[in-house]
Homo-oligomer: A and B are copies of this chain.
């Protein structure tokens, strides 16, 4: 990732050389961002000490402030770094998917679990929920870069199912939330109450997701006799 450091030009590079600074922005900050993600997810924003982030990244506290002008900026950078990129691939996969819509939906839930839910990244939605109010700008950013593409992806799946007669006609706006809510609740639960000992009913995420999927299918099933969702879609 870094080019080999050439001692020959060290003396020549002006301290404020923008190019050099640019390069750095990719180098050392990477370790800082990783450390920050770990700690923010683990302890939350307020309880994370910048010194510990720096230490975990192997640099000094002063160095951290060389790259991020404040703890808040660090937080924003962490969120930016860890969320957007995946949707492109995800959309492609959906595009190429050839199975039934229920299978496609199951595939979505499963890959969410594998790529987000079961990983450290699952801490980010929780992070955003917790801090959104104190970082409205970040919240807006998250809406545009994460919530919107995510919702769009799910909406596409649902629409495909309806179009192919595999799902009954539904109100897509709320249908999306029906898929999202259980996933996001699970992510948040994992990183808050679920991480505190003494839980009455220890969730097994895989089972939780299976049950939620069954539930979804019975709500979406074109053959189901239930009244659910059988209302004229309010928005396309």
Report A142-167 residues with CB < 8 Å from chain B CB. Answer: 142-143, 147-148, 151
**Are A200 and B143 in contact, with the CB atoms below 8 A?**
yes
Shortest A139–chain B CB gap in Å is 4
**Are A46 and B193 in contact, with the CB atoms below 8 A?**
no
**Are B201 and A173 in contact, with the CB atoms below 8 A?**
yes
Query: A227's contact among B5, B208, B218, B234, by CB below 8 Å, is which?
Result: B218
Closest B residue by C-beta to A139: B196
A contacts with B: majority SS: helix
A136 to B198, CA, bound (A): 10
When all copies of this chain in the complex are counted, the total is 4
| A43 adjacent to chain B (CB < 8 Å) | yes
| A69 adjacent to chain B (CB < 8 Å) | no
**Are B133 and A44 in contact, with the CB atoms below 8 A?**
yes
A126 to B231, CA, bound (A): 31
Shortest A106–chain B CB gap in Å is 12
| Residues 153-197 of chain A, each 1 if its beta carbon lies under 8 Å from chain B, else 0 | 000000000000000000101111110111011101101110111
A7 to B6, CA, bound (A): 14
**Are A47 and B46 in contact, with the CB atoms below 8 A?**
yes
| A88 adjacent to chain B (CB < 8 Å) | no
**Are B15 and A133 in contact, with the CB atoms below 8 A?**
no
**Are B200 and A129 in contact, with the CB atoms below 8 A?**
no
Query: A46's contact among B134, B142, B192, B230, by CB below 8 Å, is which?
Result: B134
Q: Across the interface, which residues of B come within 8 angstroms of A234, CB to CB?
A: 207
- Which of A74-82, A113-121, A209-217 lies at the interface with chain B? A209-217
